[in-house]
Amino acid sequence: MSRSLLSKGALAMRCQQSAVTTIGKSRIQTKVQKIPFSAPPSSSATGIARDTALIGFIGLGNMGFPMCMNLLRQDDGDAPLVTLLALDTNPDAVAKLAAESNGRAEAAGSVQDIGAASCDVVFTMLPSCDVVHSVYNGLIQGADNSSNDRSTLFVDCSTVAPSTSRMVHNEVVKKGHSAMDAPVSGGVKGATDGALTFMAGSDVASLEKAMPYLNRMGRAVIHCGGSGTGSATKLCNNLALAAQMAGICEAMNLGEALGVDPIVLADVMNASTAKCWSCEVNNPHPEVAKVRGMTAAAMNYEGGFASKLMLKDIGLAVEAAQEISIAVPIGASTKELYRMLDKRGMGAKDFGVLLQFLRGK
């Protein structure tokens, strides 16, 4: 059975209401019926043939590049054949994508060029709120200069403030296009394996249009509500994840200091109420990681989710909480730990390196 799609309840609601902006209690679920895809009309806006769907993609980093490779997969019989117009600050990444695409990807000259290309969908995977604002200003400028009045769906997969997502959405919609915030969970491995979870903030029509492409890159798409709710959900998830990792690091550090074998301690925790992703999947103790077949801690915390990115995400969550006067004392404390860790020069390491920071290393 195929991957993530609209639940039957959501589709029923769609039939009953012509202007639905949220799915309410129904959500996108995995392994249910796919939404049929209607092929787009042809166009000569770029050198890529338009008998397939033209997708723009900006940001070919550790996440974006494998996401692009999965978009180019042809194993979904009811999904469109995709061609890509790609852009990154690193031209080597774009050249590598073009070389591995069998002629189905090419480099864009600029952000404005992608905006003007009348793409069916444009995906962005960018590092910060400021970069997202800058890129979308360019995309909107390019779309304004396009001779084609065809509507484009813009999907931002970056982890940014909900206010940024809403601002981008409003600017895009004013120009006659549609927008979705769809940050992801699953890390580089999830991006490579096509197993990401997308947290979508959008109306139902935009979600339906995006689904054939999200299915290629992920295993689950969860509709979180309207504009900005995908970004808000991602920040809440990472706020909890950071505190979770801090707790596991403290427990592993204390247990070993009290004479408990770290492998035994991790096994007990994973069979008890302390079981969680940071203990079972990404345990920060190198010995546990090596024995249990985990990656980052076993490889000197290389790869994985960089501590500096976690610091950015916690910072965004804490700022969002402050804006609406919500107390997040554990989040604020965790943010301070990662701030000090980053200042120590450990920001590029996986965020499980907090264990070594607590040990004074």
Write out the catalytic residue numbers: 234
**Tokens 């695409």 sit on residue:** 101
Contact 281, 248 (CB under 8 A): no
- The tokens for 214 are 């999200």
- The tokens for 192 are 């490579």
Residue 240 neighbours by CB distance under 10 Å? 15
- Please report which helix (H) or strand (E) contains residue 312, including its range: helix 307-323
198 beta partners? 184, 221
Q: How far apart are CA 320 and CA 297, in angstroms?
A: 31
11 beta partners? none
Q: How far apart are CA 121 and CA 219, in angstroms?
A: 19
Distances (CA, A) of 11 to 7, 27, 228, 255, 284: 6, 10, 22, 50, 42
Q: N- to C-terminal Cα distance for the chain?
A: 49
Q: What is the per-residue DSSP string for 73-85?
A: ----TTSPPEEEE
Phi, psi dihedrals of residue 54, rounded to the nearest 5°: -95, 120
**Counting Cβ atoms within 10 Å, is residue 32 exposed (0-12), middle (13-18) or buried (19+)?**
middle
The candidate with the shortest Cα–Cα distance to 334, out of 348, 320, 317, 349, is: 317
The candidate with the shortest Cα–Cα distance to 319, out of 309, 330, 332, is: 332
Q: How far apart are CA 163 and CA 57, in angstroms?
A: 22
